[in-house]
Amino acid sequence: MTLAGDRDITQCVSAVERPGCDSGNKGGILYAVMGALVAGLVFIGWRIVRSVRQREQAMSGPPTR
């Protein structure tokens, strides 16, 4: 099994990245994780705003005519 062309995978297993051992795909998963985190924060914010508006509406009572 090889990573980058002619290098064997056993030569590239290390805690520190060795020269010539990168696969070329460094940013894809990071963008996916960041997108998931942002989406989660947006969802949490939306739920907070929604619950505050519902609470405010419940405390004000029914509209009078």
Note the pLDDT tens digit of each residue in 16-58: 777 767 666 666 778 889 999 999 999 999 999 999 999 998 8
Higher pLDDT, 3 or 65: 65
Number of domains making up the chain? 1
**pLDDT over threshold 60, residue 14:** yes
Higher pLDDT, 62 or 46: 46
Would you say residue 15 lies in a domain?
no
HEC string of the chain equals CECCCCCEHHHHCCCCCCCCCCCCCCCHHHHHHHHHHHHHHHHHHHHHHHHHHHHHHHHHCCCCC
pLDDT value of residue 7:
64
Would you say residue 14 lies in a domain?
no
Range of the domain at 38: 24-60
Would you say residue 10 lies in a domain?
no
